[in-house]
Structure 1
């Protein structure tokens, strides 16, 4: 799950209201100066956090890539680029990402089309199934495929097949399952924002369903399709967990970074590969944002919402298509849960709870508790920083607001593995407070916060833009300061959104792997990394148990969010 639903809104957080209302009768020059000072202090605090934990680490990782002896140069780039193996790995990454993009976008479009343009039953169930992959670490998709199609997979053994899942097609299949929810969320949004008038006009002109699909539907969502394609490409090319589990000898860029840094201790060469991986991610992110903005510009304030009508034949076809797509998602998640209760896969399929109770060499359940603690810290820190940054961007139209906006959106284009490696270089040898933070759960929480900061910022900004500026004007007229307005008006109005942002940070911190893989130590192990270590050690059923526990914790957090949303869904509240 890349973000809460509202985070998919493509408008820039820099858009919105002006710097604030004019002074009211009880507000003098001194009060305005106090408001400006408060805004400046909040803005500079947020800016300092973004500079320390985003800008500085990225500068350091670049400097590391050009460090040669006691000076700087591009010898490391020359060494990497001159190796034939490197270009083979680049080709692997691009081929996998392109293949995953095509397959995922096609399947996600069919699925989203069934959810938005048909009247098929049980849409709520299919929406839930589509989101299942975001409740677990990415490598769970690969783990499930191994249980199904591996050398000892249940399908291979049951039907006497010899499906070879390791390698290119294994990585592609796992990444398609992992990227599918993000593409569906984006395409559902694009297909939901539709104007009924062009369809009515096409019907009057005698156009049939096929003609309307190609002449009206596809042109209307072309930018949504483009945005989905580049979003999926970015996720696929930066994924680390699935290739580690199911890639075999098929190495991609994310794995090469891990091999260079953790396996061979070649930090300079690892930095070069990290910079190379960063470039296509940055490019894809920019194209995705441009496409998103164009998509929503197609719908005006006079648009008539398109409501699907019942058509038994079409609805049945859409239901069948959605079911066929949902079955593999359910099968992969279901087989992992099933394997977690098996004694010894696949030789002794006796039911057991030992996989949940036995302490393992990889810190046992301590890593799960560490993940919960880190996720709670990330939720708290992330909500405060994202809300503060969104408020600064909305109120400060000067250089501080613009820089906060730019730096706040940058993490969306930075692969998690690159950010984690940058933290190692920037803070491992740092002195002072940073030396105290390194190798702690708090540092892991901070890394997760800034890894997913862009989505939190976009969500909070969207909610702030929905608040009428008349609230600020009324507070100012009554003599309230900017702090008073923020505390007594703004925060209560956006509290449901802030809770949603907190749950988002919690959920993503529970399942992330790439951003923290270089930062963990024996004392700060996290559950997602433990799943990878257990699978690597051959303890697949223990890995399945840890995966199931992670999914249970994330689903519990989501249930709490839904409960809170119901409590806040009262008449008169924004978004109620």
Structure 2
């Protein structure tokens, strides 16, 4: 053999699993997890809805749909959802406009205040409204009013407070994107401010309005906490599932109502995606950023509105805090910390359970959504499409429906995974897949921002796909994944409807304790649990910001 031939012979490579084999194995594992903990639970609801007292058939559907009560519940749910959507969109749009298009003072504070409902279980809004406007609320008891907050209007007001942050975030993002050239042209042509708003601002944000509307509608029609706490004798579909399953043990009828509840959520999600596909870019390379001009009168009007709204959002958690710090609301307002002793069944254990479950959810949630995002974005396998579809499917599944599906799927001796039923691991998996879509979308968005040249360079240097993943992709992605973990932690601390059917005395969590205490009339202790949940979530968010700040500071120092 010539020296030239020897020199051209490639060096022997170490034995390793090929990139294609590795990608296929990981993709199969991700898909199996999704089938086990997402597809099978939802499928169990559909199957169980066809199993009646006499066997398979339409018995459950016939009994449910022929009942005048179910149509009353459908009407109640739609009425609450539609009115809440209208009010939430209108109020949130004005608030977002004030933040993005005026010079109101302390915008950071105003943003933070309306985010407070995200830091607590949904029923805290109803809880606060009862302390303010209930029969023994502050306004009725101390100011001589005669408000009747229970029923339809109580649910609507509580749901408006609950959904407002979601609408505000979407609308704020829509209003942040603007092209100054359109506004300059309108001013040159002599258009008045209201005409500019009607012909330019409103049309340019119509997709944001539609997206926010669908999100608010879906959240409202599937909300359980507010309706059961403040609804009184006014029932909706979400509370009916709870009554059928927990109160009467009629799983078949509960499954039918779950299917009815699933339908509007799925339809609204499909409409949202269809409208989003028609959206075109508002900002191009020729666009000019919009500069907000000074206008004291405008700023004063919007400032009064935003601070009035902020006061309402502050009043709810503050009145809950006050109720937790007095001996007996509203009869004995002497300061007391006795409600924080948690001298009830299980004591403070539900809080510790929630913290442990939330940490586990954060860890496993980050792992599962990261792997799913990498499989769908980086691996070229035939399973990419099904995985991407199933990854975002939970956005169309109400929490109560998915929770009921877990009961039907895993509380069966025919299921080999029945050993998980009644345990914390199953609750963790439920939280992960209930919130999977949001974490997955965040992770995939960040992955798309990483240039493919990194992968190409690594491949040219002989690096495997796995090596590139751990040496290049994940180090770039870690701040985003850390944020996803914080999101999972927060959602696991405050979610109620998804887990309500899985709780046992041994696996009690804090959000469910709030509901049970409120249901028993122990409102002061329920308030104490709510305050603890909010403080834990806020502490986690503050700690996360400190970690990111310190990491960013070190990163900057290294660059320097």
Whether 1:159 aligns to 2:143 is yes
Match of 2:367 among 375, 380, 384: 384
Aligned equivalent of 1:540: 523
- After superposition, the Cα gap between the structure-2 partners of 1:26 and 1:405, relative to the gap in structure 1 and judged at 3 Å, is farther
Task: Name the CA distance, whole Å, in 2 between partners of 1:160 and 1:251.
Answer: 29
1:462 to 424, 445, 462: 445
Question: Structure 2 matches for 1:313-462, cutoff 5 A?
Answer: 313-361=297-345, 363-430=346-413, 434-462=417-445
1:19 alignment partner in structure 2: none
Asked if the contact 2:409/2:415 (under 8 Å) is kept, the reply is no
Q: 1:265 aligns with which of 249, 256, 281?
A: 249
Return the offset for 1:33: 7.2
Aligned to 2:69: 85
- 1:20 is matched with none
Cα shift readout 1:264-296 (whole Å, capped 9, x = no counterpart): 111100000000000000111122233345446
Question: How far apart in 2 are the matches of 1:202 and 1:411?
Answer: 43
Residue deviations 1:383-438 (CA, integer Å, cap 9, x gap): 00101111111023543111001001100110000000000000011457512211
Does the CA-based 8 Å contact 1:141-1:178 persist in structure 2? Answer: yes
Q: Distance in 2 between the 1:27 and 1:423 partners?
A: 53
SS of residue matched to 1:518: coil
1:538 to partner: Cα distance: 0.9
The residue aligned with 1:99 is 83
| Cα offset, 1:466, TM superposition | 0.9
Alignment partner of 2:550: what SS? helix
Q: Is the 8 A contact 2:133 2:147 kept in 1?
A: yes
Cα gap change, 1:329/1:292 in structure 2, threshold over 3 Å: closer, same or farther?
farther
Is 1:236 the counterpart of 2:232? The answer is no
State the 1:541 CA deviation: 0.5
Contact 1:534–1:542 (8 Å) recurs in 2: yes
Is 1:482 the counterpart of 2:447? The answer is no
RMSD, aligned CA: 1.9
Q: In 1, Cα distance between the equivalents of 2:15 and 2:451?
A: 22
What is the CA distance between 1:159 and its match in structure 2? 1.5
Tell me the SS of whatever aligns to 2:114.
helix
Q: Which runs of 5+ in 2 are unaligned?
A: 1-8
Deviation at 1:301, TM superposition (A): 3.8
Q: Is the 8 A contact 1:26 1:477 kept in 2?
A: no
| Contact 1:104–1:180 (CA under 8 A) maintained in structure 2 | yes
User: Which stretch shifts more, 457-466 or 69-78?
Assistant: 69-78
Partner of 2:4: none
- Residues 26 and 203 (structure 1), Cα distance of their counterparts in 2 relative to 1, 3 Å cut: farther
Higher RCO (C-alpha 8 Å, min separation 6): 1
SS where residue 422 of structure 2 aligns? coil
- Quote the Cα distance in structure 1 between the aligned partners of 2:83 and 2:268: 15
Partner of 2:3: none
- Give the secondary structure class of the aligned counterpart of 1:343: strand
| Selected match of 1:563 from 538, 546, 560 | 546
Of the candidates 289, 298, 302, which is equivalent to residue 273 of structure 2? 289
- Is the CA contact (8 Å cut-off) linking 2:126 and 2:226 kept in structure 1? yes
Deviations 1:477-523 (A, max 9, x none): 22111111110110010100000000000000000000000000000
Distance 1:400 1:26 in 2: 34
Deviates more, 1:430-439 or 1:408-417: 430-439
Query: Residues 351 and 28 (structure 1 numbering): CA distance in 2 closer, same or farther, change over 3 Å?
Result: farther
Superposed displacement of residue 106, structure 1:
0.2
State whether residues 224 and 295 of structure 1, in contact with CA within 8 Å, keep that contact through their aligned partners in structure 2. Answer: no
Moved more, 417-426 or 65-74: 65-74
Cα displacement (A) at 1:209? 1.3
CA distance in 2, matches of 1:70, 1:399: 42
TM-score by length of 2: 0.95
The superposition leaves residues 101-137 of structure 1 with CA deviations (integer Å, 9 ceiling, x where unpaired) of: 0000000000100111112110000000010001000
C-alpha distance after superposition, 1:285-341 (max 9, x if no partner): 122233345446333343322232222221121111111211111111110011110
Query: Aligned equivalents of 1:207 and 1:31: distance in 2?
Result: 72
CA deviations on 1:169-196 (whole Å, 9 max, x unpaired) are: 0000000000000000111111112222
User: Secondary structure of 1:399's match?
Assistant: coil
State the Cα distance separating 1:475 from its structure 2 match.
1.2
Compared CA separation, residues 305 and 433, structure 1 to 2 (3 A) = farther
Query: In the alignment, what sits opposite 1:527?
Result: 510
Rounded to whole Å, the distance in 1 between the matches of 2:241 and 2:89 is 27
Paired residue for 1:304?
288
Secondary structure of 1:151's counterpart equals coil
Instruction: Name whichever of 249-258 and 34-43 sits farther off.
Output: 34-43
Partner of residue 496, structure 1: 479
Contact 2:44 2:405 in 1 (8 A): yes
Aligned 8 A contact 1:27 1:476 in 2: no
Contact persistence 2:122–2:225 (CA under 8 A): yes
Looking at structure 2, the residues matched to 385 and 502 of structure 1 have their Cα atoms a distance apart, in angstroms, of 11
